[in-house]
Amino acid sequence: MKRRKLDPAAATANFAKGVDDRFQAATPLRGLLNKVFPDHWSFLLGEIALFSFIVLLLSGVFLTLFFDPTMKEVAYHGSYLGLRGTEMSGAYESALNLSFEVRGGLFMRQMHHWAALLFMASIVVHMARVFFTGAFRKPREVNWVIGVVLFLLGFFAGFTGYSLPDDGLSGTGLRIASAIMLSLPVIGTWLSAAIFGGEYPGELIIGRFYIAHVLLIPGILLALISVHLGIVFKQKHTQWPGPLRTNENVVGERMFPRYAMKQGGFFMAVAGVIALMAGLFQINPIWLFGPYRAAEVSSASQPDWYVMFMDGLVRLMPNWQIYFGDYSLPPLFWPAVVGLGALFTLPMLYPWLEARKLKDTRTHHLLQRPRDNPERVGIGMMALTFFIIATISGGNDVIADKFHISLNAMTWAGRIGLLILPPIAYYMSVRICLGLQQHDREVLAHGVETGIIKRLPNGQFVEVHQPLGPVDDHGHPIPLEYAGWVVPKKMNKLGALAPAVKGFFYPVEKPADIPVSPAPISSGEREEISSKS
Amino acid sequence: MSTAHHGGTGTPVDVNDPKLTRFDIVKEGLRRDDIEIVTYESQFQGANSKAEKRVVRNISLLFIISGLGALAFVVFYIIWPWRYELGNNRSDYFTPILGGTLGVSLFALGIGILAWAKKLLPHELSIQQRHGDPSSDEERLITGQTMMYVADELGVQRRPLLKGAIAIGVAPLGLAVGAPLVGGLIQNPHKDKRPIMYHTGFDKEANGGKPVRLTREDGSPIRPEDVSTGGQLTVYPGIPGGATNKYADSPTLLIHLRSDDAATARAAADSDKNGRNKGSMWGNYVAYSKICTHAGCPASLYEQQTNRLLCPCHQSQFLITDNAQPVFGPATRRLPMLPLSVDDEGFFVATSDFKDTVGPDFWERP
Amino acid sequence: MTSDTPARRRFRVFSRRPGAPSRARRRVGAAVRMLAALALAGGVYTAFTPGAFAEDNTQLSTAAQQGKELFDNSCISCHGRDGQGVQDRGPSLIGVGSASVEFQVGTGRMPMTRQEGQAEQKKPQFNTDETKQIAQYVQEIGGGPQIPAGSLVDDLKENPESLARGGELFRVNCTSCHSFTGAGGALSSGKFAPSLHDATAEQIYAAMLTGPQNMPVFGDNQITPDEKREIITYVTKQLQENQDSGGIFNLGGYGPATEGMAIFLIGITILVFTSLWIAGKS
């Protein structure tokens, strides 16, 4: 029998045919290859979160191979001399072994931790982008809510992970968590007893946090992230207004090859930044914290940054306790339970609140420049200011210590700042937005300032404006409609001057050429001039 | 497939036409997907231009850097001495080297790919129609009616007995599924006769009526002269496991005050409103629970001149010479005082448990 | 000790430690000026009151006599004659011992600018020899705790377990104010516990023994001299020399606060610039 020669092209075609016979993949695949995505730097912020989540999953799986979530007491006999012979929980011992006995284990641990910080940081930055550009409006309200839930889940994933090594610092955090549970009215002691399996700290909590941290929360996170992306895919990405762009189309580049390559490259860049930080910056040196002991504590005890706002609110809360006969409501309840709850539910409701206020039931696929909705920017800045002050107050003892400020003064500054700075931020950002709006309208109505000053016959000086559109019979520009996008405000944007030099490290405009000294004037020319006069 | 022609504008072309280029076929696909390519042009003047070659060189360089970084990572991963040793030595650089090489490798690869996409691929501007219109009223009606019909088919409305039976049948099953999930976790915090919530390791009753000694973390008892004036010592109940986390509410701070401060503290304790702290000091010694009444951190930053105890978690401050009343921060309740005495052998004992409840506040705290 | 070794290899974030050679040079210069001033002032003083010190000096050792001269010039205005103390200006030094002097003067906390809870660490006014002389004088007039002779740091080759024991004691007794990494921490109303990263073994020992300012006293009955040595071993060998496992930068050892700052200032910043570049028009 004659052996048939293998033809790669035919084999591939055959394979593809077989796939399509079974899954009817050709048409949807073409749709995927051709899908158009708009391009803007701010659309990439959410990707940072997605990519750091992937790094978290990969590094986290590695860590589970070595971590042992037991609270049984053991004596440490590893290579870290500073703890040798110390009694500690099995969880802490395995976290130490992971750091010191596993080749590259410390690097993976630090990568996991930095990726977690980056995950939460990029979620916040991404959320701010979505909020200030109005990307949460109909039809994307549900995706906004999912985003807020993702932050909340990240918060709990982070807290449970931070607690797992059972070291001195995280144990302090766990103690505060138990106090927050206790502060709930009526059910507080029951809730704490249920979660800790009896009296704090018990011997179960690390195991319970472990399963929450490696299975329950990441499972939900993964599911919700998939839904989040699926909805973005289905609804197609929002875009900025601009030439050719309408509410009914998407202007950008096809998914393959350019957009997908950008995504792939950006993933590598995000992973690279995480790896660099994990290698160069020490994070959470648990070996210095020692095993958790209820009597031991360190000054500057803080949670990771995304929990710090809550800790800050707790620090700033005055000592107001409410008594109901024999029962009482501790002050911890307000910032930690009510505050946390409000900080998550209010943003969730915001899309509907805004739509209701503006009586806006339309569908929006075009983004709004922040200046075009001053009220939203004001509210956002107010919330952001509140969050930032709370976060700073979460580290107010470090600031007090390192900048030699009184700790008590820091607390008071935080208390007062929390009340007066958000309204100021609201007022200022609304005014700034209105001012920017007005300037846009002014340029559209009168044209771009040219910098040329003209003196009128009556002695008055006026600046000459370059109209952006046609002019009427008197030479006055006909006012233009605002299109929701950048209005050119400099002559070089109109091509009247040399284009601005692009780049971070160059001046915005090219320096003027140094005047070259004129060539020696020949005597003939001179004569010519004199003869003319 | 004829269905592929939905919404496509423009004239369809015959994709089997041999005269068509590959790009023409791609464009036909785009047309069917309702995408219009507005611009699609190379970023370079002519193929193999100087500028293009330079970009290609740079991108190749980035890929090579990436490869070298990755190779270096593997080599250092294998050969570098990584086992922890005390002091400054080469093993300390293991993590920075891993991070540096891997980070550079990944970042260079990322930038290389990005530069490829950004600089080499043609400039493209495509427009795709969204088709974000909701379903037609007719479609909505049909789906709605179909769902209603499903309910009709089940006929629950017509069969009230079934309705009741479902309620009776499903609700208990839901409970049965939920009960072990929730019930297994529930513990009655008040179930012990002397709930540990209200008692610590210094509880005399739990120690067979014998006063509990104050001990160090290694269990050794403490004599008054062990703590210097202006000194403080963390003490634990002298019972088995008294210094472990099993008695997380028991750690106590034993403070030896200067005599004038001690006099002030004693006067304050003896004139205590509810009388709980009366006579709890021994000589110039006073002992307060170390567990902050706010959130349970050890409030143990003792300032010996100002006689304040500071909690490092939320900055509550307690005045030692005034029954450890909170003077600043979010704490509302004073630190409980441990009644002190010295036994026959000259060691510190607690004459009874704390008379205030130790630890963070909760709803039903007495 | 280690803090003066110029060959420290690590980058330090927020380092407050000036370069060692220049400090030494400045210190010598200050000492020379100080000595000249002292000689002049002391000479003038003794010339006019020749019999003032005659009887006291007979009981004092030579070092203490020199210390007394320094004391009478620099310390007497607040701590009074013979260290008896002055009402509302300075406490009596009877019984504080040489350890206290070596700490307070050796770290520049004394002379103090004004009476307050937090004595700021400044450039020391006296060199080591002068400090020892004053300490000797204060010891001889009132007695009190002394820094023992001999090494205050355990040799880890002979006694490796002392490091872990020191760590244990450090976490029970010291971290609440000085923090796990020894970076220091804030106390109430502007007071603070200083960083231990530049502290010498003698200073740590003296501080524990005497409880300077708001620091509690850890007497020898509470923490034995051996245990003190273990704590010092942990601080110097673990926290000072070996603080950076897992990174070149330890972000000051302030914990999550600086880590959170780093993720925004470094991580987010780099990636935002990257995305600006990705989406920028080429």
Specify whether the CB–CB gap between A168 and C180 falls below 8 A. yes
Domain co-membership, C136 together with C71: yes
Is pLDDT at A78 greater than 60 in this prediction? yes
Shortest CB distance from C211 goes to which of B95, B110, B231? B231
- The reply to whether A487 falls in a domain is yes
- The single-letter code of the amino acid at C210 is T
Chain A positions in Cβ-Cβ contact with residue C121 (cut-off 8 Å) = none
* DSSP state letters, A456-480: -TTS-EEEEEE-SS-B-TTSPBPPP
pLDDT band at B2 (very low <50, low <70, confident <90, very high): very low
pLDDT one-digit tens code per residue, B34-56: 899 988 888 888 778 888 899 99
pLDDT at res. C37: 62
Chain B positions in Cβ-Cβ contact with residue C156 (cut-off 8 Å) = 86
- The reply to whether A437 falls in a domain is no
Distance CA(C263)–CA(A391), nearest Å, equals 14
Contact between chains at C222 and B312 (C-beta distance less than 8 A): no
Specify whether the CB–CB gap between B114 and A265 falls below 8 A. yes
pLDDT at res. B217: 86
Min mean pLDDT across A201-210, A293-302, C122-131, C191-200 is at C122-131
Taking residues B125-137, report their average pLDDT.
88
Chain B positions in Cβ-Cβ contact with residue C214 (cut-off 8 Å) = 303-306
Domain co-membership, C67 together with C128: yes
pLDDT at res. B279: 84
Chain A with chain C: Cβ pairs closer than 8 A: 217
- The reply to whether C24 falls in a domain is no
Contact between chains at B95 and A200 (C-beta distance less than 8 A): no
Contact between chains at B295 and A175 (C-beta distance less than 8 A): yes
State the CATH number of the domain containing residue C116: 1.10.760.10
pTM: 0.89
pLDDT at res. A156: 95
- The reply to whether C27 falls in a domain is no
pLDDT one-digit tens code per residue, A198-256: 888 888 999 999 999 999 999 999 999 999 999 999 999 999 998 889 999 999 999 88
Parallel, antiparallel, or unpaired for β B308-310 and B317-319? antiparallel
Instruction: State how far residue A187 is from chain B, nearest Cα, in angstroms.
Output: 8
Taking residues B64-72, report their average pLDDT.
96
- The reply to whether A533 falls in a domain is yes
Specify whether the CB–CB gap between C124 and C106 falls below 8 A. yes
Tokens of A459: 């002695």
- The reply to whether C136 falls in a domain is yes
- The reply to whether C221 falls in a domain is yes
Those residues of chain C whose CB sits closer than 8 Å to some CB in chain B are: 9, 117, 156, 163, 168, 172-173, 176-177, 185, 187-189, 191, 193, 211, 213-219, 221-222, 237-238, 241-242, 244-248, 274, 277-278, 282
Higher pLDDT, B86 or C255: C255
Look at the alpha carbons of A13, A16, A20, A25 in this order and tell me if their dihedral is positive or negative: negative
- The reply to whether C37 falls in a domain is no
Min mean pLDDT across B189-198, C26-35, C177-186 is at C26-35
Shortest CB distance from C267 goes to which of A99, A277, A287? A277
pLDDT at res. B127: 93
pLDDT one-digit tens code per residue, A120-144: 999 999 999 999 999 999 899 999 9
- The reply to whether C255 falls in a domain is no
- The reply to whether A443 falls in a domain is no
Is pLDDT at A55 greater than 70 in this prediction? yes
Contact between chains at C249 and A43 (C-beta distance less than 8 A): no
pLDDT one-digit tens code per residue, A396-420: 999 998 888 899 999 999 999 999 9
Contact between chains at A258 and B121 (C-beta distance less than 8 A): yes
> Which of C84, C115, C142 lies at the terminal end of a domain, its last residue?
C142
**Average pLDDT of chain A to the nearest whole number:** 88
Specify whether the CB–CB gap between C196 and C178 falls below 8 A. yes
pLDDT at res. C2: 41
Instruction: State how far residue B229 is from chain C, nearest Cα, in angstroms.
Output: 7
Domain co-membership, C70 together with C122: yes
| pLDDT above 70: percentage of residues in chain B | 96
Tokens of A408: 């008590």
Instruction: State how far residue B304 is from chain C, nearest Cα, in angstroms.
Output: 5
Contact between chains at A172 and B313 (C-beta distance less than 8 A): yes
Q: Which residues contact A58 (CB under 8 A, 6 or more apart)?
A: none
Q: Which of residues 174-193 of C touch A (CB under 8 A)?
A: 175-181, 183-190, 192-193
Residue to test with chain B: of C10, C176, C181, most B Cβ within 10 A: C176
Q: Find, in chain B, the residue whose alpha carbon is nearest to that of C179.
A: B312
Domain co-membership, C135 together with C90: yes
Shortest CB distance from B330 goes to which of A264, A314, A327? A314
Domain co-membership, C68 together with C119: yes
pLDDT one-digit tens code per residue, B22-37: 988 998 999 988 899 9
Binding-site residues from annotation of C for heme c = 75, 78-79, 174, 177-178
**Average pLDDT of chain B to the nearest whole number:** 88
- The reply to whether C187 falls in a domain is yes
Residue to test with chain A: of C120, C159, C171, C239, most A Cβ within 10 A: C171
pLDDT at res. C28: 58
pLDDT at res. B160: 86
Give me the domain span that covers residue C81.
Answer: 62-142
Q: Within 13 A of C279's CA, how many CA atoms are on the CB side?
A: 16
Give me the domain span that covers residue A467.
Answer: 448-533
Min mean pLDDT across A322-331, B5-14, C106-115 is at B5-14
Shortest CB distance from B130 goes to which of A294, A365, A408? A365
Q: Which residues contact C26 (CB under 8 A, 6 or more apart)?
A: C123
Contact between chains at A326 and B366 (C-beta distance less than 8 A): yes
Distance CA(C233)–CA(C151), nearest Å, equals 10
Distance CA(A292)–CA(A174), nearest Å, equals 10
pLDDT at res. A505: 56
Chain C positions in Cβ-Cβ contact with residue B44 (cut-off 8 Å) = none
pLDDT at res. A238: 93
Q: Does the CB of B258 have a partner CB in chain C at under 8 Å?
A: no
Number of domains observed in the structure of chain A: 1
Distances (CA, A) of A419 to A381, A383, A407: 14, 12, 19
pLDDT band at A359 (very low <50, low <70, confident <90, very high): very high
Contact between chains at C176 and A296 (C-beta distance less than 8 A): yes
pLDDT at res. A501: 58
Number of domains observed in the structure of chain C: 2
Shortest CB distance from C188 goes to which of B223, B225, B308? B308
Three-class DSSP category at A389: helix
Instruction: State how far residue B150 is from chain A, nearest Cα, in angstroms.
Output: 28
Parallel, antiparallel, or unpaired for β A73-75 and B212-215? unpaired
Distance CA(B254)–CA(A211), nearest Å, equals 40
- The reply to whether A532 falls in a domain is yes
Distance CA(A30)–CA(B35), nearest Å, equals 12
- The reply to whether A461 falls in a domain is yes
Q: Does the CB of C54 have a partner CB in chain A at under 8 Å?
A: no
